[in-house]
Structure 1
Amino acid sequence: MPRIGLCQLTAAEDPETNLKLIREGVTAAAAEGARIVVFPEAAMARFGIPLAPVAQPLDGPWASTVTALADEHGVVVVAGMFTPSPDGRVSNTLLVTGAGHHFGYDKIHLYDAFGFAESDTVAPGTAPATFEVDGVTFGVATCYDIRFPELFRKLADDGADIVLVPTSWGAGEGKREQWEVLVRARALDSGCWVLGCGQADPATTSTPVNPKAPTGIGYSTVSDGFGRLHTQLGAGPELVIIDVDPAVSGKARAATGVLANRRL
């Protein structure tokens, strides 16, 4: 039964500052026995600043430092960063590193919604991604991806029982309610556990931000494949440790038939 740490934080503009936050989170989560430690989307640097100057490749110094930290504590770290794209934009990348893993998932569905145009500066990814830890298959998705059930069903088809969803959820009327509904709905759609780890609300930390950028609302949320809410944090920075039973995913799919009974 994997033990997973969700580190809800407010990222600063400076990647080096955020490495300190990641070190603190990994150290605390590992001390409580976490095997996987998840940080939000844009944990490298928050939205609302020029992204190209902070983007680095997966073998660059920022990701290499996170890898060394993961290896030091014997965990897998999942954290949002930005990598250069060949077309001059950046990729919104989830770094998955530690315990023999080192790869990036590039966010497929870009946040061209609610008056924001992520695709102006970010290139979309094309390929879903899974990885295995201790015999359990995990999928990954990023923030706006959660509005697209077909991605979560694809991850389930690829063997995932747990999907990790780092996010920097934009604030606005009804957005918190949408976030919770979507986490629970994607869990029901796929029969997977869905663990959403969000950026904390900057207002809780007095962090200056661009008010037009999706810089987070907090409320990291965990649902199992029956749509049951297991954990939900508040708005501010917080670490939660959760033990996830992957067998629940199989039970949910058998009961609901959401994968076996598909016709389209």
Structure 2
Amino acid sequence: MTQNGNLKRRVRARAAKTGESYTAALRHVRESPPEHPDARSVRLAVTQTSLFNDPRDIAGLRASGMEMRRLMREAHEAGARLIHFPEGATCSPNKRIMSETGPEDVGLSDWSRFEWAILREELDATSRLARDLGLWTVFGSVHQLTPPHRPHNSLYVVSDRGTLATRYDERMLSNTKISFMYAPGRIPITFEVDGVRFGCALGMEAHYPEIFTEYEELGVDCVLFSTTGGSPFPVPAFPAEVLGHAASNSYWVSFSAHARQSVTAPSGIASPDGQWAAQCSRDGTPSLAVADIRTDPHHPARPWRRLARSDLYMPHQVSSDPRSDSRKAF
């Protein structure tokens, strides 16, 4: 299912103002030049995918790659320039399957159980399709390091030329991930597509507002947040936090989780006003939704909030302490 909430709102607004039919208004909106010539736009597709959590399962690794590439083709047909997948889109290893002492107990992960060669073949096939479609592709995958180092839980950013543009490694790992599974990342990552700047967040990092404030300071226009969505049930805080981060930082946030979470928390794209611009289906199936990520360099919200977070108020503060003020008047 595809949606474009912003476009529909603009079309309805024009139709109400001019008395045109919806079709006529749609044609004018699509053909009209942008209000601000220095504004930029990228059509983004956000996805929700099936959960594959056994890295020993060769057929499952193949199926996840095929599903990703099917959605990439759908995104290309919808005019998307970039497609965003969930955490562990290639495979999200189950902690009990990976545990050396499992499945009854959760212990250190045995990464020799991962079919790394099959994963590499699927990554190569996905990169080739990104090149063939001219489609930037961002997806979650385990990133193998040289033993005995643990792997990273990562987001790969594959360019429209089919090359690895950058990689984001999850920094704020959960207790299980840091205790038994992954090595943490260290730095934020940004990249640009057609002049629009994107940042990356992963896993449970929606719980940490400092991650999103940091990206605002780095001047991003959209943060791509990928997660499994929580296990065994969706974390209701994630979509609420995504809307809050978008509104408080005045930028776009794309929320991509696995399809099983969609009954209560479908993947979607939050606009800078803290509203969903597009959401995937709520029926538990793999799907995508699209929205145009538009920059608005003339909007006053971000410059004002940056100023307010500086020392703007210092000269206007008074020295009295309300806790020690002897006057009890209201």
Alignment TM-score > 0.5, same fold: yes
2:239–2:265 contact (8 Å) kept in structure 1: no
Residues 161 and 140 of structure 1, relative CA distance in 2, 3 Å threshold:
same
| Maintained 8 Å contact 1:85/1:123 | no
- As a proportion of its length, which structure holds more helix? 2
- For the pair 1:194 / 2:241, whether they are aligned, the reply is no
Report if the CA contact (8 A) 1:55-1:90 is conserved: no
> Structure 2 CA distance, aligned partners of 1:73 and 1:129?
24
* Distance in 2 (alpha carbons) for counterparts of 1:230 and 1:138: 17
Verify: 1:70 aligned to 2:117, yes or no: no
Q: Is the 8 A contact 2:234 2:265 kept in 1?
A: no
Q: Number of residue pairs matched?
A: 244
The residue that corresponds to 1:162 in the other structure is 222
Partner in structure 1 of residue 66 of structure 2: 20
Contact kept in structure 1, 2:46 and 2:269, CA below 8 Å: no
- Structure 1 vs Structure 2 CA RMSD: 2.7
Q: 1:249 and 1:54 mapped to 2: Cα distance?
A: 49
2:279 corresponds in structure 1 to: 232
Q: Distance in 1 between matches of 2:261 and 2:206?
A: 22
Whichever structure has more strand as a proportion of its residues is: 1
TM-score, length of structure 1 as denominator length:
0.82
Corresponding residue to 1:138 among 194, 198, 204: 198
Listed one character per residue, the Cα deviations across residues 128-148 of structure 1 (whole Å, up to 9, x for unaligned) are: 001001011111111311111
CA distance in 1, matches of 2:266, 2:244: 16
Residue 247 in 1 paired to residue 296 in 2? yes
Return the match for 2:268 from 199, 206, 221.
Answer: 221
Q: Does 1:262 align with 2:309?
A: yes
Q: In 1, Cα distance between the equivalents of 2:254 and 2:71?
A: 17
CA contact (8 A) 2:92 2:141 kept: no
After the TM superposition, which parts of structure 1 deviate over 6 Å for at least 4 consecutive aligned residues?
none
- Structure 1, unaligned runs of 5 or more: 205-216
Partner of 2:14: none
1:225 positional shift = 2.2
Partner of 1:118: 177
Find the partner of 1:109 among 168, 172, 175: 172
Tell me if structure 1 keeps the 8 A contact 2:229–2:257: yes
Residue segments in structure 2 that go unaligned for 5+ positions in a row: 1-40, 55-59, 99-108, 312-330
Range with greater deviation from structure 2 (78-87 or 21-30): 78-87
Q: What is the SS of the residue equivalent to 1:258?
A: helix
**Aligned partners of 2:289 and 2:309: how far apart in 1?**
35
Q: What TM-score comes out, normalization by structure 2 length? A: 0.67
Partner-residue secondary structure (3-state), 1:260: helix
8 Å contact kept, 2:269–2:276: yes
